[in-house]
Structure 1
Amino acid sequence: MLEFLFAQYKGYETIDIVLEIIAVVFGLISVLCAKKNNIWVYPTGLISTIIYVYLLLKWGLIGDMLINGYYTIMSVYGWYMWTRKKEGAVEYPISWTTKKEGRIAAVIFSITILFVILVYHWFEKFNDWTAYVDTFTTGIFFVGMWLMAKRKIENWLFWIVGDAISVPLYFYKGFTFSSFQFIIFTFIAVLGYIEWKRNLQKAISL
């Protein structure tokens, strides 16, 4: 069983395996902070995404690297947004996505898909079925990260879909630790959606 799960790591440098594990740990801490609506989601997430940018670039996984590069930028943006206050209150509390924001999300998804297609064609990466799945999940994750920065409940729905798809995808690519991470991410995303929805309902009833 262990051979089946971890055989792909035989050719990896020890430092890369250690870095992946560190990235996984901080990624899990980040998602748990997000579930609790805690601003530490961003600094802990930055550690994880920066490590993944390095590793994925080294491994030639351009699509995954783009996702984590975007995460890094959006973590800085989200960190700023979550600290903003208006008249002493949080300017962007937990809320549902408006119709206007829904349209913006659709535009982000479409532009992301187009961008990834162009990048993959440029680097000639459309040589495996995973590239097509990567294109879709990149769009999903880009929207999810943007909605999280806005503290929109629907961000969790995008994480649930993207994380669930990433479980077998990362295992197939040879990253077992990351695949396990996405299994946990999926469960946390479900709990995060429930908890944020409950918190909003409490805030409305006050």
Structure 2
Amino acid sequence: MQTLEIIGTLIGLVYLWLEYRASIWLWAAGIVMPAVYVFVYYDAGFYADMGINVYYLLAGGFGWLMWLRRRSRPEATGLAEGAAPSDGAAVSEAAPQPEGAVLSAENAPAKNSTQTAARARTITGERTIAPMPRGRWLPLGAITALAFGVILWVLLRFTDSNVPYGDSFTTALSIAGLWMLAQKYVEQWLVWIVVDAVCAGLYFYKGLYPTAGLYALYTVIAVFGYFEWRRLMVRQRT
């Protein structure tokens, strides 16, 4: 199992680098890595973490699709929630009308050319980095708290886990963090800073030293990742 843990650690390093660079290929590593760690965590008795890696495995495909999903919104409203057009944002032009043609209300020229351009421009291609809308924090916090309670109850009642509270906490927070990552919200890094720091301590306590070292590195890189994503977000907007 030590060999499998080392393999998972190496894949985790690749995943970390791809996430830092906001590369969509992080989801490929994010599918392989949890498949390896399902067996590592089962052997170590981290049952909630084993379960969350099954979730990671399934969510990897969802996240990949979410990052590829095209956005097509008017620029005037498409930047709501902090979204910004990517470098390759396509600008659609209004089709020319033949002379003498009667213009309908839909294709009539706008009074303001700026409004016309804003209505014509669409955001396409890979999902862009954005801040998480304020209205989503409370529902996400409530769901995370509920997940923590359910996972803790399962561990206390049905398993022999000797770290049920820490395991439940990191698992519930990881569910929230992965959803935020799939939405490409910059604040997902703040969630991972907490998760990674707690996990590093738990894994060291359980003797999973390569994994503990990996998560300690995750904690440091997550801090840099937050500021890197903020820089990328600003660059996308400009």
TM-score (structure 1 length as normaliser): 0.85
How far has the Cα of 1:172 moved from its partner?
A: 0.5
Q: Deviations over 1:148-205 (max 9, x none)?
A: 000001100010111111112101111000001001111111111011001112223x
Larger radius of gyration: 2
The CA distance in 2 between the partners of 1:23 and 1:49, in whole Å, is 8
Q: Which residue of 2 aligns with 1:25?
A: 10
Q: Pairwise mapping of residues 156-175 of structure 1 onto structure 2 (< 5 A)?
A: 156-175=189-208
Contact 1:156–1:190 under 8 Å retained in 2: yes
How far has the Cα of 1:91 moved from its partner?
A: 6.1
**Counterpart AA for 1:100:** G
Matched, 1:150 2:135: no
Q: Which residue of 2 aligns with 1:75?
A: 60
Runs ≥4 residues deviating over 3 A: none
The CA distance in 2 between the partners of 1:180 and 1:108, in whole Å, is 30
Q: Deviations over 1:55-108 (max 9, x none)?
A: 222333211112212211221110110111235613631000012321332133
Matched, 1:95 2:80: no
Aligned alpha-carbon RMSD (Å)? 1.6
**Counterpart AA for 2:217:** I
- The equivalent position to 1:113 in structure 2, one of 132, 139, 148, is 148
The 10-residue stretch of structure 1 (96-105 or 85-94) with the greater mean CA deviation from structure 2: 85-94
**Greater helix content:** 1
**Counterpart AA for 1:157:** L
Q: Deviations over 1:26-54 (max 9, x none)?
A: 11111210111101111112111111112
The CA distance in 1 between the partners of 2:128 and 2:160, in whole Å, is 40
Q: Which residue of 2 aligns with 1:38?
A: 23
- 5+ residue gaps, structure 2, are 73-89, 91-123
Q: Which residue of 2 aligns with 1:184?
A: 217
The CA distance in 2 between the partners of 1:91 and 1:109, in whole Å, is 28
**Counterpart AA for 2:178:** M
TM-score (structure 2 length as normaliser): 0.74
Change (3 A) 1:100 1:92: farther
**Counterpart AA for 2:229:** W
**Counterpart AA for 2:170:** T
- 5+ residue gaps, structure 1, are 1-15
- The equivalent position to 2:172 in structure 1, one of 139, 164, 169, is 139
Aligned length: 188
Q: Which residue of 2 aligns with 1:125?
A: 160
Q: Which residue of 1 aligns with 2:95?
A: none
The CA distance in 2 between the partners of 1:201 and 1:181, in whole Å, is 29
